Amino acid sequence: MNRNQPASVKPWHQTNWDWRAALNFICGGTGTGLLLAAALFGGAAYAWFALAALAFVGFGLFWVWMEIGKPWRAINVFFHPHTSWMTRESIVAGPLFLAGLAAAWTGAAWLVGLAAILAAAFLYCQGRILKASKGIPAWREPAIVLLVIVTGLAEGTGLVAAALAASGRLADRAPVVALLVLLVAREIAWRRYRAALAVRGAPKGTLEVLGRTSLPYALGGNWVPALLALAALPGHGAAWALVLVAGVAAAVFGWYGKFTIVARAAFNQGFALPVLPIRGQGERTAGTKPGWERPAGS
């Protein structure tokens, strides 16, 4: 590094959102994806899937509440629906729990549909919360919205397919086909997200963390479970075991990916200096943006 380049302006890892915030995105995405998948494939087991989904969402929101320095002021989150996607997520959460519980209790089709719509809204809010965090390049990238949505759907569908396979209720191939499609979509969304960061530029720390994560995430979370789901489509005797492993892997590696983005790759953007300060007389020196990877092609 140039001796005139101040190191203190380099991006540093943010500490405001830790593993507790990551759990909101992990559990919220899985829970809403599970509720959506249960509406399509749950059948007679819908009530159990819906209760599990709401437990996931509630567990994630609990840890967000615990992360707040003064948790009894959490009511303030409801006061900014015109500016905050976190407020919108919180507002959706109440009706989501009411509709989900009512759907689990009654099994009424319109309540199942309403719960699914609210789950989709909650999942969309989660993606927009990250995108709205302008100070963190790994979060503000627009491609993250699709990645969060597809990941949540893959996690929920994977758990539904795995549970149906383990209980012997996997009556048709529809959940397996849906899981296969979502895993391919998640791999595409992951590649687009990383490519977009490379094009726009990002802190070196962010790109290094994502680089170390990419291969295990892509193989364990997308390619291997997708191949297992594909192998299970003919419906042979071992199909249930393949679907079980594929579904669990889709969920677990989805959690791994979101934890990495929220808690490990979250370097802020640091500071850019248009012109470097020089003591005494001398020519002006070109500016710098320490700790950043230049955009691809620049």
d(CA 20, CA 62): 9
Q: Could you tell me if residue 4 is inside a domain?
A: no
Q: Could you tell me if residue 279 is inside a domain?
A: no
Q: Could you tell me if residue 38 is inside a domain?
A: yes
Quick one: DSSP state of residue 43? G
Query: Judging by beta carbons within 10 Å of its beta carbon (0-12, 13-18, 19+), is residue 96 exposed, middle or buried?
Result: buried
What is the domain-level CATH number for residue 121?
1.20.1630.10
Q: What is the model's pLDDT at position 281? A: 57
Q: What is the model's pLDDT at position 266? A: 87
Q: Residue holding tokens 């995430």?
A: 217
Q: Could you tell me if residue 287 is inside a domain?
A: no
Q: Could you tell me if residue 5 is inside a domain?
A: no
Examine the pLDDT at 280 and tell me if it is beyond 70: no
pLDDT, tens only, 45-94: 999 999 999 999 999 988 877 766 555 555 555 555 666 777 888 889 99
d(CA 265, CA 268): 9
pLDDT, tens only, 98-157: 999 999 999 999 999 999 999 999 999 999 999 998 888 999 999 999 999 999 999 999
Q: Which range of residues forms the domain containing residue 138?
A: 13-269
Q: What is the model's pLDDT at position 149? A: 97
Q: How many domains does the chain have?
A: 1
Q: Could you tell me if residue 22 is inside a domain?
A: yes
Neighbour tally for 266: CB within 10 Å: 28
Q: Residue holding tokens 């953007």?
A: 269
Q: Could you tell me if residue 135 is inside a domain?
A: yes
pLDDT, tens only, 185-213: 999 999 999 999 988 888 888 999 999 99
Q: Could you tell me if residue 281 is inside a domain?
A: no
Q: What is the model's pLDDT at position 72? A: 55
